[in-house]
Chain A
Amino acid sequence: MKRAVLLALSTLLILTAGIAFAEYPDRPITYIISFNPGGESDITARLQEPVLEKILGVDINVTHKPGGGGAVAWSEFQRTAKPDGYTLIGNNIPHIIGQPMLRKDTGYETDGFEQIMWMHFTPNALIVRADSPFKTLKDFIEYAKEHPKVVTVGGSGSYSANHLETLRLEREAGIKVTYIPHTGTGPLAPAILGGHLTCLMNYSMLPVQLGDKVRTLAVAAEERVETMPDVPTFKELGYDIVGGAFRGVAAPKGTPKEIIAKLADAFTKTNKEIAGKQVPLGFVMTYATGDDAKALVDKMRRNYSDVIVDIIKEREKK
């Protein structure tokens, strides 16, 4: 008798578990943003929230856990989040590539995420003030060649997308410039408009924001960006530089494949719906899911590996 009850109970349990699984999601999903409210990651999540809720049929709770350039949230996520599809986190390339290689005790691993999707890309762009003597990338590089380290390039953060791209430009063009890190994108606008820097290496949104007060010399995308059709890509000009920040969403490692697939589908649909709002701001939409998502991380890791190795060598010299 006892055994029969136990058997019945366990069958029931397996069945309900199966049903619960089939019906994912059946309770609210937490979507962690590892940066401050008001930033690109936050704005993206806020745009996605209502669309995702409609598609998935459950509440999406966007919460913030800023700090350490994203590392505080990512390290805690990899340590504690349950792989059940109810806790998701926004993550970024190249942050998740550069930080673990260049910092001690970052507390997370580049490959420690189950990537659902890379949603968009904000390519780096080389920006000067409208009255700058540099009209083209050629002017800029010629000047930098003749005057090593005189050119100051402002960007957001150390070993960030902006910084790594500047280092790649140095390698590709055989020049030496002085990179000056700032805390986020905010302080860059006054620094360039006030004439405190020669140029900026920042994302494609800034030229949109600053309009005709600045001129963009080149953009680090595969193809020209919709918001600035007249700006050539570095590739067109003969420099193999494609890079910027990719923003994506990830689940904890070990989350069931079915759940990842369902979320990838929901995020893809959402991304299409919000594209109309993001493209005019300078974003380039990407739809990398599954193996494509993994391949993207590997490709960007290869792209940046040379400059990262250089940085590590230089540090060891000190």
Chain B
Amino acid sequence: MELFWKVAAEMMDPFVFLLILGGVTAGLFVGAMPGLTAAMALAVLLPFTFKLPPLYGLVALGAVYMGAIYGGSFAAILVNTPGTPSSIATAFEGYPMAKDGRALEAISLATVSSAIGGLAGVFFLLLLSPPLARLSIQFGSAEYFWVAMLGLTLIASLSPGSTLKGFLGGAIGMLLAAVGVAPIGGENRFTFGMPVLQGGVEMIVALIGFFVIPELFNMAAHGRAALAEVTIESRKRGTFLGAIRTVFSMPGNLLRSCVIGEIVAIIPGAGGSIANLVAYNEAKRASRHPERFGKGAVEGLVASESSNNVTVAGSMVPLLTLGIPGAPPDAVILGVMLMHGLRPGLDLFTVSGDLTYGFIISMGLAALYMMPVGILGGRLIYRVIVKTPHYLLVPSIGLVTILGTYALRNSLSDVIIMLLLGTTGFVLKELEVESAPIVLGLILGGIAEMGYVQTLLRGTALEHPWLMLFQNRLSQIIIVLTVLSLASPYLSAWFRKFRKPLEEQLGKETPE
């Protein structure tokens, strides 16, 4: 711990300050652009960091990562298109708030929640790394399968209209996930003789297609009207202090979302894209007014934005202790560490402790700097979007979207896939099949398939290989959670029916 304070003092260097500030700002703008993801921002930055000393390189990467995950909320709130997959749920509440003329309030809330989430992640990383790392390796193939099943139960709450249509969307997503080289077996599936389809449908490509394109069609069709309300009532200002008060007025929600974010973060392969949805869902279930969700409920926004920023430092737990990247951007950071001769493991906290602690502290600082940068940057982006006439806004967003999709894998076919999925998404939306379940199915389809087949393979020598799915204690816990999650809407309805007469009875019996 002595080393920690020594490093903390060293971090009070003006160059480090500028590096983090620059990193957060750059990350914020990258994250705000639909299609540009945190992993891409880090990959672009990679060659520059090699020219810096190792600590500065890692500091810059950490700051950009933090900024990018947060920046995704702007596009989600202002134009209903999550900038990164980590802010899908932010759009559910942020956009209705913006339509209500509460755009700036939503941005302030997202900023404060993100900063708190970022700090919470750093806190978990600093103090709870060893136990969390032990938990993280408990997840084997059977657990992955059940986690995916648990994730699929979110569909019920992500499709406010009809649950059946929600599951239809989920099924479409899972089918899309099956395109390309089979993860087990290695055969080509659904490629229709086209070699480019071996690469499958990239999750980000589908995300952009399903979320951005229908929204652009909508804006183009309804013109100003789609955004009109945002402009008219925007004089209602959300103050920063007000946002802090609001966020801290729900400590339970905050704590729950941060813990969910951390647990999802240490499961390798999940990351912010799942964390925000799970946290949102739990916030909705715990809320006394679940009917307000989807219409601008502050709790949902806070849950989504705090949980996704927890994953930034949170996913560093398995990375720094075991060398397991928890999310795609972490793979880039692991690469940089290995290049500088840093081996994950306990050595990292002792022998090269100054580097590791420096990196961790810088992520905490990045979370703090997000507040001023976010409040100023947020207002700037807000003005630009509100003041730009829609006939310029729609093509500009369209252009950025296409560039972003292309840049993802330098692939024109990805752009074509994105546009096709977008058009399909628009039609499906008209039929009330929402985009969120489709994307969720796409994210979880691959995880579920891998987990299921790997588990059955592991049981090859058994008489009933499928029993492997139920063997571990952790699997059983997740199965119980899945069943509870599926049953909870019915349970709570039943509970309410049961409680009403009871309360009436109690009311009568209360003495005067």
Could you tell me which A residues sit within 8 Å of B by CB distance? 32, 36-39, 42-43, 46-47, 49-50, 62-69, 71-72, 75-76, 102-108, 147-150, 152, 157-159, 178-183, 186-187, 189-191, 193-194, 196-197, 208-211, 213, 277, 280-281
Please name 11 further chain A to chain B contacts, defined as beta carbons within 8 Å, in addition to the given A67-B202, A104-B191, sorted by A numbering. Answer: A37-B43, A38-B334, A62-B47, A65-B411, A67-B180, A68-B200, A71-B199, A72-B198, A75-B198, A147-B461, A158-B184
Q: Which of A68, A150, A158 contacts B198 (CB 8 A)?
A: A68
Bound complex: CA of A187 vs CA of B187, how far in Å? Answer: 21
Choose, from B131-139, B247-255, B375-383, B424-432, the stretch at the interface.
B131-139
Choose, from B84-92, B317-325, B436-444, the stretch at the interface.
B317-325
User: Are A71 and B461 in contact, CB atoms less than 8 angstroms apart?
Assistant: no
Determine the residue in chain A with the shortest Cβ distance to B344: A209
User: Are A178 and B457 in contact, CB atoms less than 8 angstroms apart?
Assistant: yes
User: Are A64 and B409 in contact, CB atoms less than 8 angstroms apart?
Assistant: yes
User: Are A43 and B335 in contact, CB atoms less than 8 angstroms apart?
Assistant: yes
Contact of A197 with B458 at beta-carbon distance under 8 Å, contacts A39-B331, A68-B181 already known? yes
User: Are B196 and A76 in contact, CB atoms less than 8 angstroms apart?
Assistant: yes
User: Are B186 and A186 in contact, CB atoms less than 8 angstroms apart?
Assistant: no
Most-contacted residue by chain B among A63, A103, A182, A213 (CB, 10 A) = A103
Bound complex: CA of A283 vs CA of B203, how far in Å? Answer: 32
Task: Specify which chain B residues have a CB less than 8 angstroms from the CB of A64 in the assembled complex.
Answer: 43, 409-410
Interface 1/0 per residue, B455-484 and A, CB below 8 Å? 001101100000000000000000000000
User: Are B410 and A67 in contact, CB atoms less than 8 angstroms apart?
Assistant: no
B365 to chain A, nearest CB (A): 24
* A-B pairs, 7 with minimum CB distance: A67-B199, A107-B195, A68-B198, A158-B186, A196-B140, A194-B137, A37-B43
Task: Specify which chain A residues have a CB less than 8 angstroms from the CB of B182 in the assembled complex.
Answer: 158
Which residues of B, 154-212, contact A by the 8 Å Cβ criterion? Answer: 180-188, 191, 193-196, 198-200, 202
Bound complex: CA of A69 vs CA of B185, how far in Å? Answer: 13
Task: Specify which chain B residues have a CB less than 8 angstroms from the CB of A196 in the assembled complex.
Answer: 140-141, 458
User: Are B323 and A191 in contact, CB atoms less than 8 angstroms apart?
Assistant: no
Bound complex: CA of A42 vs CA of B410, how far in Å? Answer: 15
Bound complex: CA of A80 vs CA of B343, how far in Å? Answer: 40
Bound complex: CA of A281 vs CA of B463, how far in Å? Answer: 42
User: Are A105 and B46 in contact, CB atoms less than 8 angstroms apart?
Assistant: no
Q: Give 25 CB contacts A-B under 8 Å.
A: A36-B331, A38-B334, A39-B331, A42-B335, A65-B410, A67-B180, A75-B198, A76-B195, A105-B194, A106-B188, A107-B198, A148-B461, A157-B186, A158-B182, A181-B183, A183-B446, A189-B323, A189-B324, A190-B137, A190-B318, A190-B322, A190-B324, A194-B138, A277-B339, A277-B341
User: Are A104 and B334 in contact, CB atoms less than 8 angstroms apart?
Assistant: no
Task: Specify which chain B residues have a CB less than 8 angstroms from the CB of A280 in the assembled complex.
Answer: 341
Task: Specify which chain A residues have a CB less than 8 angstroms from the CB of B335 in the assembled complex.
Answer: 37-39, 42-43
Determine the residue in chain B with the shortest Cβ distance to A183: B183
Determine the residue in chain B with the shortest Cβ distance to A198: B458
Contact of A38 with B198 at beta-carbon distance under 8 Å, contacts A180-B454, A181-B183 already known? no
Determine the residue in chain B with the shortest Cβ distance to A208: B343
B490 to chain A, nearest CB (A): 35
User: Are A186 and B199 in contact, CB atoms less than 8 angstroms apart?
Assistant: no
Task: Specify which chain B residues have a CB less than 8 angstroms from the CB of A71 in the assembled complex.
Answer: 181, 195, 198-199
Bound complex: CA of A76 vs CA of B180, how far in Å? Answer: 16
The reply to whether the CB of B269 lies closer than 8 angstroms to some CB of chain A is: yes
Which residues of B, 336-352, contact A by the 8 Å Cβ criterion? Answer: 338-339, 341, 343-345, 347
The reply to whether the CB of B328 lies closer than 8 angstroms to some CB of chain A is: yes
User: Are A183 and B450 in contact, CB atoms less than 8 angstroms apart?
Assistant: yes
Bound complex: CA of A43 vs CA of B342, how far in Å? Answer: 14
Bound complex: CA of A113 vs CA of B423, how far in Å? Answer: 38
Interface of A is mostly: mixed
Bound complex: CA of A6 vs CA of B186, how far in Å? Answer: 57
Q: Which of A37, A191, A210 contacts B46 (CB 8 A)?
A: A37
User: Are A180 and B323 in contact, CB atoms less than 8 angstroms apart?
Assistant: no
Bound complex: CA of A313 vs CA of B196, how far in Å? Answer: 27
Determine the residue in chain A with the shortest Cβ distance to B334: A38
Determine the residue in chain B with the shortest Cβ distance to A102: B186
User: Are B458 and A46 in contact, CB atoms less than 8 angstroms apart?
Assistant: no
Contact of A104 with B183 at beta-carbon distance under 8 Å, contacts A37-B335, A38-B332, A38-B335 already known? no
Bound complex: CA of A32 vs CA of B332, how far in Å? Answer: 17
Which residues of B, 41-84, contact A by the 8 Å Cβ criterion? Answer: 42-43, 46-47, 50
B138 to chain A, nearest CB (A): 6
User: Are A47 and B457 in contact, CB atoms less than 8 angstroms apart?
Assistant: no
Bound complex: CA of A103 vs CA of B411, how far in Å? Answer: 22
Task: Specify which chain A residues have a CB less than 8 angstroms from the CB of B333 in the assembled complex.
Answer: 38
Q: Which of A108, A147, A152, A210 contacts B323 (CB 8 A)?
A: A210
Determine the residue in chain B with the shortest Cβ distance to A79: B195
Bound complex: CA of A210 vs CA of B343, how far in Å? Answer: 8
The reply to whether the CB of B238 lies closer than 8 angstroms to some CB of chain A is: no
Bound complex: CA of A32 vs CA of B409, how far in Å? Answer: 11
Task: Specify which chain B residues have a CB less than 8 angstroms from the CB of A190 in the assembled complex.
Answer: 136-137, 139, 268, 318, 322, 324
Determine the residue in chain B with the shortest Cβ distance to A196: B140
Task: Specify which chain B residues have a CB less than 8 angstroms from the CB of A107 in the assembled complex.
Answer: 195-196, 198
Bound complex: CA of A180 vs CA of B347, how far in Å? Answer: 31
Contact of A104 with B322 at beta-carbon distance under 8 Å, contacts A46-B46, A178-B460, A180-B457 already known? no
User: Are A191 and B339 in contact, CB atoms less than 8 angstroms apart?
Assistant: no
Q: Which of A69, A76, A105 contacts B193 (CB 8 A)?
A: A105
Determine the residue in chain A with the shortest Cβ distance to B328: A36
Q: Which of B50, B140, B141, B187 contacts A103 (CB 8 A)?
A: B187
User: Are A178 and B458 in contact, CB atoms less than 8 angstroms apart?
Assistant: yes
Task: Specify which chain A residues have a CB less than 8 angstroms from the CB of B410 in the assembled complex.
Answer: 32, 63-65
Q: Which of A46, A75, A102 contacts B47 (CB 8 A)?
A: A46
The reply to whether the CB of B125 lies closer than 8 angstroms to some CB of chain A is: no
The reply to whether the CB of B265 lies closer than 8 angstroms to some CB of chain A is: no
Task: Specify which chain B residues have a CB less than 8 angstroms from the CB of A75 in the assembled complex.
Answer: 195-196, 198
Task: Specify which chain A residues have a CB less than 8 angstroms from the CB of B20 in the assembled complex.
Answer: none
The reply to whether the CB of B39 lies closer than 8 angstroms to some CB of chain A is: yes
Task: Specify which chain B residues have a CB less than 8 angstroms from the CB of A213 in the assembled complex.
Answer: 345
Determine the residue in chain B with the shortest Cβ distance to A63: B410
User: Are B339 and A68 in contact, CB atoms less than 8 angstroms apart?
Assistant: no
Q: Which of B42, B195, B334, B409 contacts A108 (CB 8 A)?
A: B195
A137 to chain B, nearest CB (A): 21
Q: Which of B136, B180, B323, B460 contacts A149 (CB 8 A)?
A: B460
Most-contacted residue by chain B among A46, A181, A190 (CB, 10 A) = A190
Bound complex: CA of A36 vs CA of B200, how far in Å? Answer: 14
Bound complex: CA of A197 vs CA of B450, how far in Å? Answer: 15
Contact of A105 with B137 at beta-carbon distance under 8 Å, contacts A189-B324, A209-B343, A211-B345 already known? no
Task: Specify which chain B residues have a CB less than 8 angstroms from the CB of A152 in the assembled complex.
Answer: 457-458
Interface 1/0 per residue, B120-153 and A, CB below 8 Å? 0000000000000000111111000000000000
User: Are A181 and B139 in contact, CB atoms less than 8 angstroms apart?
Assistant: no
Task: Specify which chain B residues have a CB less than 8 angstroms from the CB of A47 in the assembled complex.
Answer: 339
Determine the residue in chain B with the shortest Cβ distance to A147: B461
Task: Specify which chain B residues have a CB less than 8 angstroms from the CB of A63 in the assembled complex.
Answer: 410
Contact of A186 with B268 at beta-carbon distance under 8 Å, contacts A39-B335, A211-B345, A280-B341 already known? yes
Q: Which of B322, B347, B454 contacts A189 (CB 8 A)?
A: B322
Task: Specify which chain A residues have a CB less than 8 angstroms from the CB of B454 in the assembled complex.
Answer: 180-182
Bound complex: CA of A108 vs CA of B200, how far in Å? Answer: 17
Q: Which of A39, A66, A72, A194 contacts B195 (CB 8 A)?
A: A72
